[in-house]
Amino acid sequence: MSIQTDQIAKLVERRENARLGGGPKRIDAQHAKGKMTARERLAMLLDEGSFEEYDMFVQHRCTNFGMEKQHFDGDGVVTGCGTIDGRQVYVFAQDFTVSGGSLSKTMSEKICKIQDMAMRVGAPLIGLNDSGGARIQEGIDALAGYAEIFERNILASGVVPQISVIMGPCAGGAVYSPALTDFTFMVKNTSYMFLTGPAVVKSVTGEVVDQEQLGGASVHASKSGVAHFAADSEEDVIAKIKALLSFLPQNNLDVAPEKPTSDSIARSEDSLNSIVPDNPNKAYDMYSVIGSIVDDGAFLEVHKDFAKNIIVGFAHMGGRSVGVVANQPAVLAGVLDINASRKAARFVRFCDAFNIPLVTLVDVPGFLPGTQQEYGAIITNGAKLLYAYGEATVPKVTVTLRKGYGGAHIVMSCKQLRGDINYAWPSAQIAVMGADGAVNVLYAKDMKDNPEKAAEIFEEKKKEYEELFSNPYQAAQKGYIDDVIEPRNTRFRVIRALQQLEGKRQELPAKKHDNLPL
């Protein structure tokens, strides 16, 4: 055997060993938990044969606590680039079979290299997280590694889409990288996120809680809003990632890919003419409206289980990606509260950063009252949504279906927040408040002074107020609404509006950065 042949054989053997991560026993242990290995996950995520791996032979440099006696090629993370549906992405996948996926300085350097490459090339970055946290043996070096990753997450924000997938433990400082990215996916029953684990919680507060109750996928998808998507399995989470990417551009200078459809732009939906109940206090389902106007009825909802009184997600209209924001009258009457405001504001800002037009469907009676909301800073949180819409320069098309009351009307992409085209259905009611509340404020003295005629006064003034404001025409007369449209034609009118706005150019005043009300 020649020297070169021997060298090649050693290379092949070393590659094979590197691909085994922590070895067959640890791989079996990973499978026994119902989890795939890092490489198995990447194989399922990326187009077959497209993966180009970097830094396969990197090893840690730690000599503390006997670490110098054990080395694994790759050092607990698989990094590289590949394609998903033919579009380039950069990826890293933490390997729990190597030192529990714990982060070393060299692991962080591998991840940072991929982050830098994604920025230079202008391609999405996807991180598959499955790690026991910082490698304790490396001390401050591990913490420095986390900070290097976080800094790159910050610099990449708004430049390339960043997606975090939690496929195992993610605790302590490790949680901040996912928190800094655009979308976080979790897998039910096998992934969790928290800053301090159950043992620490019990020792400090006395509270007894397990990992799933403290930071499982269902908790973060429904209660905290940390997770945008909760998947039933690892196969399901991969499918959801691919679905999300189909709506997104490669970077902030690009536009999202078009999706051909046979769904006619001119399709009308007669059911929309009768979907709003005659009783203004009766609910209807906004999902029915969304499904009726988007291409093929297909809607990818974001934050589905969090703040259900507002709906956000992606769809295609006329083959183009759009971000949909819609009040949900079937939950809390569609009222805005702290969580709904935060949820929608974050989504609006993402769409604006990546050139995705916004379609807003409005039926909002106001902000949720009460001490819990006021003490929780509903003022500041509501201002986040107002700020997000007012700052956004992407095409914005708004349709008011029914209620648009008070400050909530303003916050939901009104004309004065630089809404481009604002439509209303004939059922729209745009006013400072509803008729009952307005009469009680305006005529409280009259009704108090004439108690025997109070009911008569109330009904008379309520009818007067409804004739004036319980329709969209006063707003239309003043140009605050561009047109009153027949509900059945909403799809056609919105798509035509988006087509008109394709060449929109609007810039913000020169500044270092804004000061979003946080």
What positions carry a catalytic annotation? 172-173, 407-408
Distance CA 504, CA 121 (A): 26
Say if residues 432 and 438 touch (Cβ distance below 8 Å): yes
CA distance 2 to 123: 42
Cβ contacts of 270-275, under 8 Å, gap ≥ 24: 270/488, 271/488, 272/487, 272/488, 272/490, 273/486, 273/487, 273/488, 275/487
Spatial distance between the Cα atoms of 321 and 324, rounded to a whole number of angstroms:
10
Nearest alpha carbon to residue 166 among 198, 132, 130, 133: 130
Distance between CA 452 and CA 68 in Å, rounded?
91
Name the CA dihedral angle for 265, 270, 275, 279, rounded to a multiple of 10 degrees: 130
Run of H or E residues at 397: strand 396-405
Which residues does 159 contact at the CB level (< 8 Å), separation at least 6? Answer: 119, 122, 251, 252
Dihedral (Cα; 25, 28, 32, 34), 10-degree rounding: 140
What whole-number distance in Å separates Cα of residue 237 and Cα of residue 363? Answer: 32
Closest CA to 362 of 288, 310, 431, 297: 310
